[in-house]
A and B are shown apart, each in its own frame.
Chain A
Amino acid sequence: MEALKNAFDFSDFPRTDLIIAALAALFLLTFPAFPHSSFAMATMIQFLMFSLYGMGWNTIGGYGGQVDLGKAQYVGIGAFTTSVMLIRWNVPFWVSMPIGMFFAVIWSFIIGYPLFRLKGHYFAIATIATSLVLKDIFEVWDFVGAARGLEISPIKFKPPDFLHLIFREDIYYYYVILGFFFLGIMYVNWFRRSRLGFQLRSIKDNEDIARSLGINVHWAKIKTYAIATAFVSLVGSFHACYIKNIEPEDTMSLDISILIALMAMLGGAGSLWGPIIGASILIPLKSYLKEWLGAQAGLVGIDLIIYGAIIMLVSAVEPRGIWGIVEKVRRRKRR
């Protein structure tokens, strides 16, 4: 009960934040009512998806300070579990999604256990490696469609099919992912002030001190990594139903992993609003860079260059991202 109460407790934010948040929520709820292009709708769905990815990443990467650049492997596990189960056995999304989460969490324990013996850059590189290895396995594994990937053909279903999450219009997908988005915020709002959340922040501060305060550092990291994984896998499952055509090369690429980390890093790692702020900047930028500059102006790969520049900028100027700057200014005003 206390957990539920804490999830709805935003009282430690100043009123201006809450007003802005309420206005943003109102906008998100009513956005489909405004005239909009299908491109704008697709961008909004991407924004919500990547906010959720970022929120998941933020638990271990932001609050825990463990920079993880291998989240794409869990996107893949979620997406492929849902696709395979839907195509082969007609399993509803609401069943395959938790099963995908379960597989992803099991996998996160298997690789998390050895990986969290590493620290800092070594940990980051190891996450990249495991993600790429899993992608390579999926690319030669016939059961999951190998390199061709899997295609969900909507012909078998009668949209709108809420059970299997097969729709013709994007507006349905929009409201489903918006629901997850609000749940995600509630969850992280609870997490950041839970015992585990405090333990993670203490670990980020200084691991030896965390240990001396009775925190099992290794286990706390593994647990939080599993939480982050569950978030990412859920959105991966959604992604499979939304895109309907997934390939390991797309879904599990390094770009996705980096982009997920970037949401929180730019917006503010270790803050509730950070990943959302990051996604609201990066997703429109990504659409612009990839679809316009990349495809039309022929500057293929420009998006990756820009992301790299952002990473450097953030780590040089303010490692806690945009939200870190906001908090610094506020602190200075108060004193």
Chain B
Amino acid sequence: MGHCGEGPQEEKKIMALLEVHGLHKDFGGLKANEDISFSLDDGELMGLIGPNGAGKTTLFNCIAGLHPVTAGQIIFSGYDITKFNAHEVARLGLARTFQVYAASGDLTVLENVMVGCFMRTRSRSRAKSRAERILKDFKLYNFSDYLLSELTVAAQKRVTMATAVGTDPKMLLLDEVAGGLNPNEIEAIMATIRHIHHDLEITVMLIEHVMELVMNISDRVIVLDSGRKIAEGDPNTVARDTNVIKAYLGERYVREHAAELT
């Protein structure tokens, strides 16, 4: 077994899967992310919330290697990925979904998921059987031959999650997978996220505007506002944090409802 994992103390020590240190991202004069630091343990489910324009998607794009960062450091499973390209980050096991899925109508549901599976194999038959297994798992198997544009938004979102899972990731970044869904669909998406996190044992970080979802399933929540991290903690604490309420509802609301909030 070598020298790693010797003794019970070594095994108990959980290494952070993702560490972000002092991340800055400027677009010209606009500071989209300012000095953001956090870390995420293996097996956690973390929510990332904040008002529109807070810099949540930018943060995802920086972590996933889609945007070069202005300053700071990102470490994923022991590798410094700050300067990695998006495809290199993905190959290390950090997958993500996108808010909008531009479906040109060229690939079927099965083929979409196969693209993900092809990251780990050259063989078509292996990619196909793995994709079929994932589709069954995600209850999408009956839609295998459909084009993405023929599905409901909720089903499309589930396909993008299945595709990302196809790459066999250690960690998954979900960008607003519940946006624009009705309550029943949100319930189903929540079950899918739980399944990914709990049964497939994938660490999850999600951006979400649907509060009942994010507050329900997150172990921990980070709040961004105007590019800065303003709060971090378990969902209940964060929901009562004055800074967070200010960010969402404005200072006046906090002043007028000071009595109720304490």
A2 proximal to B (CB < 8 A): yes
Q: Which of B168-207 contact A (CB under 8 A)?
A: none
**Are A194 and B86 closer than 8 Å at their CB atoms?**
no
In A187-221, the 8 Å CB interface with B consists of 193-195, 198-199, 201-202, 204-206, 208-217
| Complex interface: chain B residues within 8 A of A217 (CB) | 87
Task: Tell yes or no: A248 within 8 A of B by CB.
Answer: no
| CA of A199 to CA of B106, assembled, Å | 12
Q: Does B211 contact A (CB under 8 A)?
A: no
Q: Which of B31-39, B70-78, B93-101, B252-260 contacts A (4 or more CB under 8 A)?
A: B93-101
Interface residues on B, range: 35 or more
Cβ B116 vs Cβ A2 within 8 A? no
CB atoms of A213 and B115 under 8 A apart: yes
Rounded to whole Å, the gap between the CB of B84 and the closest CB of chain A is 11
Known contacts A212-B86, A213-B167, A214-B87; decide if A202 and B107 are in contact (CB<8 Å). yes
Q: What residues on A are CB-neighbors of B85 within 8 Å?
A: 211, 216
Enumerate chain A residues within 8 angstroms of B124, measured Cβ to Cβ.
2, 6, 193-195
Residue B125 is within 8 A (CB to CB) of chain A in the complex: yes
Shortest CB-to-CB span from A65 to chain B, Å, is 8
Which residues from chain A contact B96 at a C-beta distance below 8 Å?
Answer: 212
Residue of A nearest to B97 (CB): A212
Q: Which residues from chain A contact B125 at a C-beta distance below 8 Å?
A: 2
Question: Bound complex: CA of A323 vs CA of B121, how far in Å?
Answer: 30
Cβ–Cβ < 8 Å partners of B101 in chain A:
206, 209
- Inter-subunit contact A205/B167 (CB<8 Å): no
Report if B102 contacts A (CB, 8 A): yes
- The answer to whether B107 and A199 have CB atoms under 8 Å apart is no
Q: B66, B107, B119, B123: which contacts A214 (Cβ < 8 A)?
A: B119
Least Cβ–Cβ distance between A204 and chain B, in angstroms: 6
CB contact between A204 and one of B66, B106, B127 (< 8 Å): that residue? B106
- For residue B104, CB closer than 8 A to chain A, the reply is yes
Given contacts A195-B122, A202-B115, contact A214 B98 (CB under 8 A): no
A198 — which chain B residues lie within 8 A by C-beta? 111, 114-115, 118, 127
Q: Are B86 and A208 in contact (CB under 8 A)?
A: yes
Interface size range of chain A in the complex: 20 to 34
Give the CA-CA distance A149 to B157 in the complex, in Å: 58
Cα A211 to Cα B96 in complex, Å, equals: 10
Decide: A208 and B90 in contact? CB cutoff 8 A.
no
> Which residues from B are CB-within-8-Å of A213?
87, 90, 95, 115-116, 119, 163-164, 166-167
A184 to chain B, nearest CB (A): 20
Bound form: Cα–Cα A205–B124 in Å? 20
Q: Is residue A270 contacting chain B, with contact meaning CB distance below 8 A?
A: yes
Between A6, A209, A216, the greatest number of chain B beta carbons within 10 A of the residue's beta carbon is seen for A209
Given A194-B124, A213-B167, are A199 and B102 neighbors across the interface (CB < 8 Å)? no
Interface residues of B in 51-77 (CB under 8 A from A): 64-66
Q: Which of B116, B127, B147, B167 has the most CB of A within 10 A?
A: B116
Find residues 2-36 in chain A having any chain B CB closer than 8 Å to their own CB.
Answer: 2, 6
Which residues of chain A come closer than 8 Å to B90, judged between CB atoms? 211-214
Q: Which residues of B from 130 to 168 have beta carbons under 8 Å from A?
A: 147, 150, 163-164, 166-167
Tell me, rounded to whole Å, the shortest Cβ–Cβ distance linking B100 to chain A.
9
Known: A208-B86, A213-B167. A270 touches B106 (CB 8 A): yes
Given contacts A199-B118, A206-B102, contact A211 B66 (CB under 8 A): yes
Contact residues in A for B86 (Cβ distance below 8 Å):
208, 211-212
Q: Is B21 an interface residue (CB 8 A)?
A: no
Is A201 in contact with B118, judged by CB distance below 8 angstroms?
Answer: no
Q: Is B91 interfacial (CB-CB < 8 Å)?
A: yes
Minimum CB–CB distance from A76 to chain B (whole Å) comes to 32
Closest to A328 in B: B105
Task: Judge whether B15 is part of the interface by a CB distance below 8 angstroms.
Answer: no
Contacts of A206 in B (CB 8 A): 98, 101-102, 104
When distances are taken between beta carbons in the complex, the residues of chain B under 8 Å from A212 are 64, 66, 86-87, 90, 95-96, 98, 164
By CB atoms of chain B within 10 A, which of A210, A211, A212, A214 has the most?
A212
Chain B residue at minimal CB-CB distance from A5: B125
Tell me the smallest distance from the CB of B137 to a CB of chain A, in Å. 18
* CB pair A214 B106 closer than 8 Å: no
List of B residues within 8 angstroms of A214 by Cβ = 87, 90-91, 119, 167
Bound-state CA distance A6–B64 (Å) is 34
CA of A201 to CA of B163, assembled, Å: 14
A and B contact pairs by CB, cutoff 8 A, 19 listed: A195-B121, A195-B122, A198-B111, A198-B118, A201-B106, A201-B115, A202-B107, A205-B102, A205-B104, A205-B107, A206-B101, A211-B65, A211-B66, A211-B90, A212-B98, A212-B164, A213-B119, A213-B164, A331-B147
Q: Which 7 A-B pairs have the closest CB atoms?
A: A211-B86, A214-B119, A214-B90, A202-B115, A195-B118, A214-B91, A206-B102
Q: Other than A198-B114, A212-B96, give 18 A-B pairs with Cβ distance below 8 A.
A: A195-B118, A195-B122, A195-B124, A195-B127, A201-B107, A201-B111, A206-B101, A206-B102, A211-B65, A211-B66, A211-B85, A212-B64, A212-B86, A212-B90, A212-B95, A212-B164, A213-B119, A215-B115
